[in-house]
Amino acid sequence: MSQSALRNTDLDTAVQEAREAYVARNPKSLARFVEAVAVMPGGNTRTSLHYDPFPIGIARGEGCRIWDMDGAEYVDFLGEYTAGLYGHSNPVIRAAIDTALDGGISLGGQNVIEAKFARAVCDRFPSIERIRFTNSGTEANLMAISAACVVTGRKKVMAMNGGYHGGVFTFAGGGSPINAPFDFVLAQYNDIAGTLALIEANATELAAIILEPMIGSGGCIAAEPAFLHALRDAATRVGALLILDEVMTSRLYPGGLQAMRGVRPDLTTLGKYIGGGMSFGAFGGRADIIDRFDPRRADALPHAGTFNNNVLTMSAGLTGLTQIFTIPAQMALNARGDALRERLNALCRAHDAPMQFTGIGSMLSVHMLRGPICSPADAARGDQKLKELFFFDMLAAGIWLARRGMMALMLPIGDAECDTLAAAVEEFLSSRRSLLARG
């Protein structure tokens, strides 16, 4: 069915037709899905990648493009949820990995690269005086929160309703039944008065306040600078530790988004792209806190992990951070993202559509509503059927993005790819005009 044949329908019918066209285009992905469900619940081992009627199976990637099992090509605007910063098989990183492989993989000891990588990370993020590596952002947040509880001697942890800090720190809808069993207090993102009141009510029991300086997975919703500064001051006042989760947002500015906003946390968590495409996480911050993990101390806190210092991540991460994602490259990528987001929003305004793109720098997300979006609750008011339709229309146009509407630019993305996305968005705004007008 051609795209033009899908245009002049009501929203429910349009979504159904888009789904049917999607199924017809992807028979090999459907077959892969049917095979997968026999051995994995839902055919899946990473919940965020599932969507109905079934997810596309990716066969390969190169540069900023991927190809599915049925041969369709997409410009990759998802960037592996910010982890795929370097694109697919960057040759410089590939060479570093090959060199590491030549020297042996699982060495069972401290290797010659990890301290250099640690120095490079600390140099990039001034608030990180000492650092410990993990295998994911989830682990990094688990260790940071646990350390905060030990250091403060307290048990309560403040997080943001709708926030996300990994597989066991999910707070959409008030929290997940498999969240780590900390005593959480949930505040509302960007609500200064309400959050400060909660902090005061729990002042003597609060070990940590954790948040992303821009909510990533929940819609690229930026914290107001005043909100971040208020939390910094309040944490100091009550003796809690401020943890900024920059697993995603550290890519947005030298020193992380915390540096852009002028807020210095006690602890910072990292992950995603910093591993150069390999599994990676880290937690770091004030020396007096992280030094509690020094094994030379009689009262040292334990921190194990077989692959914390694996040579593939250490090599890829060091190479990426020092040779490719230099500060000039970082600034250029985020300037490109800002220009792209403004270009897309200008198209939405020109079509008077209830649609907008939020974010900072190289991270952006689409929302199907008008007006300010200051929290996940605001974003939830958007028309989810229109967003689903947008998702399927973008796939049909050769644009790869998250079902939830999130996008993250890779370094290989250039003007031509941005033009392709803008053209696809304008086509959506034009061809779905009657449906958007009802939003």
What is the pTM assigned to this prediction? 0.96
Q: How confident is the model at residue 285 (pLDDT cuts 50, 70, 90)?
A: very high
Looking at residue 164, the DSSP 8-state letter turns out to be: B
Query: pLDDT confidence of 438, banded at 50, 70, 90?
Result: confident
pLDDT of residue 372: 97
Which tens digits make up the pLDDT trace of 353-389?
999 999 999 999 999 999 999 999 999 999 999 999 9
The model's pLDDT over 179-221, given as tens digits with 9 standing for 90+, comes to 999 999 999 999 999 999 999 999 999 999 999 999 999 999 9
Looking at residue 417, what is its pLDDT?
98
Burial class of residue 94 (count of CB atoms within 10 Å of its CB; 0-12, 13-18, 19+)? middle
pLDDT at 267: 98
Top pLDDT among 344 and 172 is at 344
Cis peptide before 53 (omega within 30 of 0): yes
Helices 311-319 and 91-102 pack at an angle, to 10 degrees, of 150
How many CB atoms sit inside 10 A of residue 35's CB? 12
Q: What average pLDDT score do residues 418-432 get?
A: 97
Please state, in angstroms and rounded to a whole number, the distance separating the CA atoms of residues 286 and 128. 6
pLDDT at 7 over 80: no
Has residue 71 got a pLDDT over 50? yes
Which helix H or strand E contains 132, and what residues bound it?
A: strand 130-134
Average pLDDT over residues 409-433: 97
Domains of the chain listed by start with CATH number: 3-85+327-436 (3.90.1150.10), 91-324 (3.40.640.10)
Mean pLDDT of 256-282: 97
Q: What is the mean pLDDT of residues 222-245?
A: 98
Q: Residues 134-153: pLDDT tens digits?
A: 999 999 999 999 999 999 99
| Short-list 190, 167, 217, CA closest to 365 | 217
pLDDT at 301 over 50: yes
Distance between CA atoms of 201 and 219, rounded to whole angstroms? Answer: 29
Q: What is the C-alpha separation between 276 and 318, in angstroms, rounded? A: 8
Taking the C-alpha atoms of residue 6 and residue 53, their distance in angstroms, rounded to an integer, is: 18
Angstrom distance (rounded) from CA 60 to CA 74: 11
Q: What is the mean pLDDT of residues 1-9?
A: 50
**Whether pLDDT at 99 is above 90:** yes
Alpha-carbon span 112 to 243, nearest angstrom? 30
Tokens 């790819």 correspond to 417
| Rounded distance between C-alpha atoms, residue 366 and residue 418, angstroms | 15
CB atoms within 10 A of CB 98: 10
Q: Exposed, middle or buried: residue 324 (CB in 10 Å: 0-12, 13-18, 19+)?
A: middle
- Mean pLDDT of the 293-312 span: 96
Instruction: Say if residue 23's pLDDT is above 60.
Output: yes
Range list of β-strands (E), 341-415:
356-360, 363-367, 399-400, 406-408
Q: How many helices (H) and strands (E) does the chain have?
A: 15, 16
Give the tokens for residue 69: 């099992």
Give the separation between CA 119 and CA 303, rounded to whole angstroms. Answer: 19
- Arithmetic mean of pLDDT over the chain: 96
Give the whole-number percent of the chain exceeding pLDDT 90. 95
Cα within 13 Å of Cα(215), Cβ side: 27
Mean pLDDT, range 255-263, rounded to an integer: 98
The number of residues in the chain equals 439
Helices 384-396 & 11-25, crossing angle to 10 degrees? 30
Which of 373-410 are b and which e, b meaning 16 or more Cβ less than 10 Å from the residue's Cβ? bbbbebbbebbeebbbbbbbbbbbbebbbbbbbbbbbb
pLDDT attached to residue 439: 64
Which tokens go with 131? Answer: 């650092």
Question: What gap in Å lies between CA 322 and CA 328, rounded to an integer?
Answer: 11
394 and 388 in contact (C-beta within 8 Å)? no
- Token readout for 213 is 């300086």
pLDDT surpasses 60 at 5 = no
Cβ-based burial of 212 (10 A; exposed 0-12, middle 13-18, buried ≥19): buried
Please state whether beta strands 73-76 and 156-160 pair in parallel, antiparallel, or not at all (unpaired).
Answer: unpaired
